[in-house]
A = this chain, B = another copy of it.
């Protein structure tokens, strides 16, 4: 075989093997009504890190979506104001900008819509209402100046600030939280040494076992769909496994909890595999503590397959190859309430 034909064959093999998931784009889609700007990114970062956006000043967006780590909090369910816990595990904020809908049940059609939710959730940031958030922002002079810069046409004085401006700024920051450059991405771009033999075996297995029928696309969370268009799947597909009982997988109805339509019971947004190795515990209720067990549970509940230990191990090594390069970030400085406090 000539070198050229060998190269073409290798390329074709590579293409057919992994065409279910392209490398992660460097930039996510941006909605027309909220274009990116440096001023918005910087403002959104401050708001994301600001615990004063919660009732008692103890919880920021970053508390549950820690961008210094995997974009979550490594807890089954997060700790909110007054140490309350909700019923679901924090999804990672890394690459959330590539998801077509937000929350486990996909109830928010955009990052902007999502950003407004936790503020007033009594088990999260517990603000009385959005007006209370806006009033706090309006009383912090440094924020008022930054909102004017971020939205120069819309905001002339503090009275022009709305919760939608808050949401737009936070969402803009979140669109910078992307992690291209994982070992998998390098492999896909031609650096075949970036994946170990075990990872390559795992890459084959996730296709042959069937995982990639849902975990496809560059974010391993389904096909690329327009913002607001969800990609739901049933979980568990195969009812009555030992895991379903052990991990209480059907206690929460998922999409059903939003629609109250019986046909929606057990339907969930397909979560991303990007950085999955650093976001334990797993599943909507955070009931599974290790990635090995999560792989085992998924194969059984979704595909009715009993994976062998070495298959699980190879798949885990492959999933580890999806941990990306986290961009360096400067720490924000939160504007002060000079000589006074809300708390």
Instruction: Report which A residues bind B (CB closer than 8 A).
Output: 49, 51-52, 56-58, 63, 66-70, 73-76, 79, 81-83, 277-278, 280-281, 289-292, 316, 319-320, 323, 326, 328-334, 336-343
Contacts and interface: CB of A to CB of B under 8 A. Distances in A.
A302 to B, nearest CB: 19
Contacts of A331: 67-68, 328-331
A343 B280 CA distance: 9
Contacts of A281: 341, 343
A339 B68 contact: no
A174 B250 CA distance: 47
Contacts of A343: 74-76, 281
Contacts of A337: 74, 278, 280
A52 B326 CA distance: 20
A169 to B, nearest CB: 16
B280 A339 contact: yes
Contact of A333 (B291, B326, B342): B326
Contact of A339 (B69, B291, B329): B291
A339 B76 contact: no
A199 to B, nearest CB: 14
A333 B66 CA distance: 10
Given A277-B339, A343-B76, A343-B281, A58 B63 contact: yes
Contacts of A73: 51, 57-58
A73 B50 CA distance: 11
Contacts of A316: 339
B79 A56 contact: yes
Nearest to A278: B336
A336 B49 contact: no
A67 B331 CA distance: 9
Contacts of A326: 333
Contacts of A289: 340-341
A339 B69 CA distance: 13
B79 A336 contact: no
B328 A330 contact: yes
Given A58-B63, A74-B342, A341-B74, A277 B82 contact: no
A68 B334 contact: yes
A333 B340 CA distance: 32
